[in-house]
Amino acid sequence: MMKFLRSQSQSVLVLILVVLGGSFIFYGTGNVLSPSGARGSNDYGRIDGQDLSVAELYQAVRNARDELILSGQAERLNQPGTREEIAEEGWRQLLIQREADRLHVEISDQELADYIRGLFQKDGAYSPDLYQKAMNNIENAYHITPDAFEALMRGNLRANAVRQALFSTVRTPGKDVETEYAKYYGPVQLSVITFDPKTFAASAQVTPEQIEAEYKAHPDNPAYRTPEKRKVDYVLFPLTADQAKLPAKDKTAAIEALGEKALDFALAFQPDPSASTNSTPATPPDFQTEAKKRGLTSITTDFFTAESSPAGLPPSPAFNSAAFSLSKDSPVSKVVALDNGVAVLHLSEVQPSDLRPLDQVKADIAKQLQQTQGDQAAQVAAQKAAASLQASLKTGSDFKAAAAALKLTVQTLPSLVPATAPRTDMKLQTLAYASTGLEVNGLSGPVPLDTDNTILLIHLDSRSLPDQAKYAEFDTHFRQAQDERLRNVAYVDWANWKSRQSGTHKPPDLGQYGGVE
């Protein structure tokens, strides 16, 4: 069916994610699924009077897991509660696909082809090359074949059709748009109280006992240790003087050519891939001996740290990174690209890091503890002030008068339109965002300001009526985002309702299936 697309062609996964956005549901394939432990029941759930098989449940959970990974959230997999969320989403996907069956939702081959063509556009037209590159990337990274990808697309289109039928009437009320527009485009007058940890740190008292305790408790702190040093042997494959003067594109090509030559040398130290797995691995050759045999010059550096350059070599992050990535078990590097050519490195000797005497780091520890105490004291002071001021505001007190009674300094800022706060000014961005969550005469809790490590209490003095010039544009974008959020909520509510209908029930202990690999 879809082979004609591939016959014409297999950027990358990121492009697909950007194009498809949050509405795209990946229905994963991959390896045969197996349970991650014994199950307490053979009941795998029922939908509309039909029992689910274990394969259907496992596949649905795997689909939800793949969706999470392919949406760029793989790091969430090991977070508490994620497995349960994956299992719940797998169940919801089963419900929506069964609903598609009930409604006789089918996607024709032509609809599917048109949809996929629309995803891989270049200059307004379908690009077979773009499609081919994306398929290669997905298959290599996630073992999803082009045929499986097409199945994913079909499932997504079916689910979208059901969602459209069920939730298209869910819309954002106009009043909500007006309210939000006023928050972002209405000029606001803000007053702030600033808590600077440096002020609190200046009066912090650090005892010798605290310094010694910190030193003993964290012997692995790099600040308390001498840096590790390394000595390496390396063979440089340099650019000629004329090649070094070439334009960037030609110089890159020359370096790549040197890389091919260097690769042959580097591979001499790698295990023979054709050797039997049962045979004893051959002892790799000596680095300097092999270099000499090939007519290459091996140079040995002096000891250097990860942050310093070996004597006689220009600074090179690539060289240092390669040197400090080597180990006893993997002592020879891959080919390393440098500004003046390429190199292959060999770990010669390691001078381990040592714990410095307490006297050498005492002053730094004292400064660190003072800063920590200052941060903590500033946070506590801000929390107490916020609680006291918020209590006063509830009784009708004037904000500035209440602050003065607490001997707090209030700074009133120039008028600000939150939506137009410069992106390059992080303080204004922070103030703008905080203001959208406040009502007039409302006070925020402590807000950390990353740019200078201060803590702010933000009071909304007033909000003026917004200019309507941007309303139409805001209305479009806000409704799109809010409608999608509301429809997702409706989808979850529908799935919960559906799960309670006669003839339908979730598997017992559904959450335990979230660990299926």
Cα–Cα distance between 238 and 459 in angstroms, integer? 62
* CATH (residue range 227-269+283-351): 3.10.50
Helix (H) or strand (E) holding 162: helix 146-167
Per-residue pLDDT at 445: 96
Q: What is the rounded distance in angstroms from the CA atom of residue 118 to the CA atom of residue 157?
A: 13
Q: Give the DSSP H/E element, type plus range, for residue 50.
A: strand 50-51
pLDDT tens-digit map of 373-416? 999 999 999 999 999 999 999 999 999 999 999 999 999 999 99
pLDDT score for 6? 42
Q: Provide CATH 1.10.4030 ranges for the chain.
A: 3-170+487-515
Beta bridge partners, 125, equal: 122
**Residue 23 carries which DSSP code?**
G
Place of tokens 């939730």: 167
The Cβ of residue 502 has, within 10 Å, a number of other Cβ atoms equal to 7
Query: Domain 3-170+487-515, what architecture?
Result: Orthogonal Bundle (1.10)
CB 389 within 8 A of CB 399: yes
Task: Decide if 342 contacts 259 (C-beta within 8 A).
Answer: yes
Output DSSP code: residue 32: P
Terminal Cα-to-Cα distance of the chain (whole angstroms): 30
- Count of CB atoms situated within 10 Å of the CB of 95: 22
pLDDT at 108 over 60: yes
pLDDT in tens, 183-198: 999 999 999 999 999 9
Question: How high is the mean pLDDT of the chain?
Answer: 87
406-450 confidence digits (pLDDT tens): 999 999 999 999 999 999 999 999 999 999 999 999 999 999 998
Query: Is the model's pLDDT at 13 over the cut of 50?
Result: no
Residue percentage of the chain with pLDDT more than 90: 64
Residues in the chain: 517
Burial 217-239 (b: 16+ CB within 10 A, else e): eeeeeeebeeeebbbbbbbbbeb
- 33 — pLDDT class (breaks 50, 70, 90): very low
CA 353 to chain centroid: 32
Q: How does pLDDT run across 285-299, given as a tens digit for each residue?
A: 999 999 999 999 999
Residues 350/339, Cβ–Cβ less than 8 Å? no
Residue 282, pLDDT > 90, answer no
175-230 residue pLDDT tens: 889 999 999 999 999 999 999 999 999 999 999 999 999 999 999 999 999 999 99
Fold of 187-206+361-464: Chitinase A; domain 3 (3.10.50)
What pLDDT, on the 0 to 100 scale, is given for residue 281? 67
**Which residue is it, tokens 């979730």?**
506
Q: How far apart are CA 183 and CA 180, in angstroms?
A: 5
d(CA 211, CA 425): 38
* 240-280 residue pLDDT tens: 999 888 888 888 888 888 988 899 999 999 876 655 556 66
CATH 3.10.50 positions along the chain are 187-206+361-464, 227-269+283-351
